[in-house]
Amino acid sequence: MVALSRENTPFSRLARACRDLEGTTKRNEKTTIIADLLNSLHPAEIAPATLFLSGNAFPESDPRVLEVSYATISEAERNLGQARLTNAQLTVLEVYETLARMAEATGPNSRTRKLNLVQTLLTRSSKDEADFLTRMLLREMRIGVVEGVLLDAISKASGIPRDVVRKANMLHGDIGDLARKAISEGVLGLEKIQLRLFVPIKPMLAEIAADPGEALTEHIDGTAFEYKFDGARIQIHRSGDKIRIFSRRLTDVTESLSDMVEFARTHVNSSEYVIEGEAIAIGEGGRPVPFQDLMRRFRRVHEIEEMSGKIPLRLYLFDALYLEGRTLIDQPYTVRWEILSQLVPTSSLTPRIVTRDRAEAESFLKTALKEGHEGLMAKSLTSNYSPGARGKKWFKIKSADTLDVVIVAADWGSGRRVGWLSNYHLAVRDEDTGEFMIVGKTFKGLTDDEFDTITARLKRLKVRESHYTVHVKPAIVAEVAYSEVQKSPIYKSGFALRFARIARFRDDKLPIDANTLQDLRQRYNRQFETKARLSLGK
């Protein structure tokens, strides 16, 4: 179905849709609101509008960032006073083009240029438009439009089955352009979408298993157990002399990883491929170093060679996704592993065993842990590669329960921690609404240097401050270890983590990658597989 409007849809129409979306918790209603909006747009407007609804200005794989702070928006609003020129309506494309200019404003005086652009938008905005513009700039949209809702809406608007839309989204990396293709080109447009070199695809994800036996029971066709490293997952794309490396968050990290580029150029027996692996930092005695130190390599843009000497990396590969014109993601694990093993030296393959013997798998787990690694991955021998999907085809097996949460606020410390934001409000994401819901607080697990660093980061993310609590934009993902999931009458989520402590910060993950409320509910229920439920009556 092709939209019939011209390229001048008022931004106010999108703002009204956002207000309607915020006003309902019903998934079907949200789907209908979005589908109706998308079908009213010109094809050129569909991509930016879809991204705006998700709270983003650019696709996930797009390196551009707005970097507009709460302070900049507040200053822009103060400068406006009462002057709002709403007679010249903003259009969807004008907003997108202005945001693109903001992202391009870098270097000296960039803040001033961003401030002027924000003021330009707000001057021409109604109250509703300004509200949703500022939420989007701060990535605080919170209207309950998660990726699944958008995919449902794209399916409804285009008439294309949801499974076709979902598969195309896994490969495309740009949900806005996906919506445009679906509505203006139909099912044939989506069926043309394939894995493309230098367009990163979302990594396949895994469920958590309590032990190797759980994976063996689930995988009736056999299981491969691989080391699970405390490293950074990367995708390497090559075609001829061009090599690019992408992180788990689909960010291009090529410039920071010259040693990985050299490996791709000289140690892979092909000149056109996409392979996936884990880069770990190596310390004294060849043992892995903490994840935080590894992230220093990934953030480095200057003095890369010097840092390479201080924090050498070792690459362990575990999958082949594309080879010389052939997409491999629909091939079973065993085929992909065989292809990978012919491409790279055996020493660069992730250590693994294929077994149906639980004792052998548990012994392998103990070895991985003894060598300083996180645990094991358990992969079905018949599993295909499902980008962005989490399921029981792959399990991760760790020695302790951990959860990826998002910091949404922090309290100012007392005593020895005076001057630091050091009691962190930990939240998981509700898949149905997109809301981040608190499941506990902790100040444990950090060094003084880490308290100092995280305080500076949180202050830059401040949205508001009340008494001794600083509320922040949900941007920092932390992995926390905990002993138990408990019911909680205090938190809206209904759950609390017992004895939570921060294990590390996951700079390789976005807030949308954090665990969900639904994950936490499953974990709570799973505890009673080995514990009795205590009934206290009414």
Q: What is the pLDDT of residue 85?
A: 52
Reply yes or no on whether 370 is catalytic.
no
CA distance 84 to 5: 27
Amino acid at 269: N
Q: What is the pLDDT of residue 4?
A: 44
pLDDT tens track of the chain, all 538 residues? 444 456 789 999 999 999 999 999 899 999 999 999 999 999 999 999 999 999 999 998 788 888 888 888 888 888 876 555 555 789 999 999 999 999 999 888 899 999 999 999 999 999 899 999 998 888 778 788 989 999 999 999 999 999 999 989 988 879 999 999 999 999 999 999 989 899 999 899 998 888 999 999 999 999 999 999 988 999 999 999 999 999 998 889 998 898 999 999 999 999 999 999 999 988 777 778 777 677 777 765 555 666 666 778 899 999 999 999 999 999 999 999 999 999 999 999 999 999 999 999 999 999 998 888 889 999 999 999 999 888 899 999 987 688 999 999 999 887 678 789 989 999 999 988 889 999 999 988 888 888 989 999 999 999 988 878 999 999 999 999 887 788 888 899 999 998 898 988 998 899 989 999 999 998 888 766 654 444 444 3
Is residue 498 exposed (0-12), middle (13-18) or buried (19+ Cβ within 10 Å)? Answer: exposed
Strand order in the sheet with 232-239: 242-247, 232-239, 272-281, 313-323, 326-327
Amino acid at 95: V
DSSP 252: B
**Sign of the Cα pseudo-torsion (326, 328, 332, 334, in order):** positive
Closest by Cα among 20, 26, 37 to 128: 20
Question: What are 357's two structure tokens?
Answer: 């013997």
Closest by Cα among 57, 317, 2 to 174: 57
Non-local (6+) Cβ contacts of 101 within 8 A are 117
Q: Which long-range contacts (CB under 8 A, 24 or more apart) does 146-152 make?
A: 146/431, 146/432, 146/433, 146/434, 147/54, 147/175, 147/512, 148/431, 149/27, 149/30, 149/31, 149/34, 150/34, 150/50, 150/53, 150/54, 150/175, 150/179, 151/175, 152/27, 152/31
CA distance 380 to 104: 45
Question: What are 165's two structure tokens?
Answer: 């839309």
Closest by Cα among 233, 239, 246 to 204: 233
Question: What are 271's two structure tokens?
Answer: 């000149």
Q: What is the pLDDT of residue 96?
A: 96
Non-local (6+) Cβ contacts of 446 within 8 A are 422, 454, 502
Ranges of each domain in the chain: 11-191, 205-398, 402-529
- Per-residue HEC secondary structure of 46-90 comes to HHHHHHHHCCCCCCCCCCCCCCCCHHHHHHHHHHHCCCCCCCCCC
Catalytic residue among 156, 228, 393, 473: 228
Closest by Cα among 170, 166, 129 to 150: 166
Q: What is the pLDDT of residue 538?
A: 38
Question: What are 220's two structure tokens?
Answer: 């009736």
Non-local (6+) Cβ contacts of 424 within 8 A are 407, 409, 410, 441, 442, 443, 454, 478, 502
Superfamily of domain 11-191: DNA ligase, ATP-dependent, N-terminal domain (1.10.3260.10)
Is residue 86 exposed (0-12), middle (13-18) or buried (19+ Cβ within 10 Å)? Answer: middle
Instruction: State the fold for domain 205-398.
Output: D-amino Acid Aminotransferase; Chain A, domain 1 (3.30.470)
CA distance 210 to 491: 27
Closest by Cα among 385, 317, 393, 400 to 351: 317
Question: What are 176's two structure tokens?
Answer: 């806005």
3-state secondary structure of 383: coil
Buried b (16+ CB within 10 A) or exposed e, 270-307: eeebbbbbbbbbeeeeeebbebeebbebbebeeeeeeb
Q: Which DSSP string do the residues of 465-513 spell out, in sequence order?
A: EETTEEEE-S--EEEEE-SEEEE-SSSTTSEEEET-EEEEE-TT--GGG
Asked if 44 and 93 count as a contact pair (C-beta separation under 8 A), the reply is yes
The CATH code belonging to domain 402-529 is: 2.40.50.140
Is residue 84 exposed (0-12), middle (13-18) or buried (19+ Cβ within 10 Å)? Answer: middle
Pairing of the two strands 390-398 and 205-208:
parallel
Closest by Cα among 190, 151, 186 to 34: 151
Count the neighbouring beta carbons within 10 Å of the beta carbon of residue 91: 20
Asked if 53 and 20 count as a contact pair (C-beta separation under 8 A), the reply is no
Pairing of the two strands 501-505 and 313-323:
unpaired
Half-sphere exposure of 48 (CA within 13 A, CB side): 21
Question: What are 66's two structure tokens?
Answer: 């707005």
DSSP 10: B
